[in-house]
Amino acid sequence: MGSPLTVALLGGGTVGASVAQLISESADDLTARIGRELKLTGIAVRDASKPRPGVDSKLLTEDAAGLAASGTDIVIEVIGGIEPAKTLIESAIANGSSIVTANKALLAAHGAHLHKLAEEAGVDLYYEAAVAGAIPLLRPLRESLAGDKVTKILGIVNGTTNFILSKMYNDGADYSVVLKEAQDLGYAEADPTADVEGFDSAAKAAILSGLAFHTNVTADDVYREGMTKVTADDIAAAKSLGYVIKLLAIAELTEDDKGVIVRVHPAMIPLTHPLASVRDAFNAVFVEAEAAGQVMFYGRGAGGAPTASSVVGDVVAAARHRITGSVGPAQSIYADLEVR
């Protein structure tokens, strides 16, 4: 069967620990699917002395730079943020490693740069887990719909805001009350700005629109309005008219097909629309294409285990390419549409 394929994991938080556990628990199945064993060589963390149940402590290291540059077959990055993730990934690519990342902020800001580096080095760059957690979404956009013309994407891509708006709709409660409940339940961070002000959704919208419209779109290109000003009265008014309010990420071609508009903001959705029934912390994305028509993707958009599922799926794809000496599809930005 050949020697094992080596894997380095950067990040040992909730997602990182889930990835390590999934690789360990599914070792036999992964070996059968790939054709070679996956060997986890190290897990880079900030504090190697911190207990991490279910994770082999002998794999823990605080030397992220050394692990990234070690030349493993695949490097998984689940640290998040721009730095040091960007530098670590650049180093890993320079040392011949294929990359699997869940880092939406980094891809929305520097995706084109990283794709260029990966293409020049002849390695994979996969990031299914960067948008909508466990939902298979990016690969269908990049591959399954590659023969079609996508005209519009609209979706609920942030579980925290959807949980808050769902509770406001069901309970008639004010934003501040529901936010506190979301924080107590672990759905919202102590500082919820990235979620409730739409930054998280904007990064995901940039990634989705880049894949759908073959154009480089960054988070700075996305019009962004959060949901903190939505009141219980707004929710009640929408309800009386047969609508529900959701924070939507929307990307669409302009009527002349020469531009793309990408935006995030609260929107009223009729109760008859499929997105209206997406509640709590679930995500859903609606894709409209000329030939395929309307397609909807639905599932859990966050959490350790769901996100790990997408990460390990990408690892399997990259590992298979490693064995055959091939790589997956490169970034497609040939259209170079104007972002309006």
The DSSP result for 258-288, as a single string, is SEEEEEEEEEEEETTSGGGG--TTEEEEEEE
248: β partners: 265
Fold of 5-133+304-339: Rossmann fold (3.40.50)
Rounded-to-integer distance, Cα 324 and Cα 154, Å: 37
Torsion-angle region of 79 (φ positive above 0: left; ψ -120 to 50: alpha; else: beta) = alpha
Q: What is the pLDDT of residue 145?
A: 93
pTM of the predicted protein model? 0.93
Q: How far is CA 128 from CA 40, 254, 308, in A?
A: 20, 27, 10
What does the domain layout of the chain look like in residue ranges?
A: 5-133+304-339, 138-300
Examine domains 5-133+304-339 and 138-300 and report if their fold is the same: no
Catalytic residue among 58, 204, 229, 258: 204
Q: What is the pLDDT of residue 187?
A: 83
Q: What is the pLDDT of residue 1?
A: 66
Q: Say whether 204 is catalytic.
A: yes
| CB of 141 closer than 8 Å to CB of 255 | no
Rounded-to-integer distance, Cα 171 and Cα 266, Å: 19
Q: What is the pLDDT of residue 188?
A: 87
Residue spans of the chain under pLDDT 50: none
Q: How far is CA 300 from CA 65, 99, 119, 133, 200, in A?
A: 32, 23, 31, 6, 16
C-alpha triplet 205, 124, 305: angle, nearest 5°: 60
User: Which CATH entry fits the domain spanning 138-300: 3.90.470.10, 3.40.190.170, 1.10.3720.10, 3.30.360.10?
Assistant: 3.30.360.10
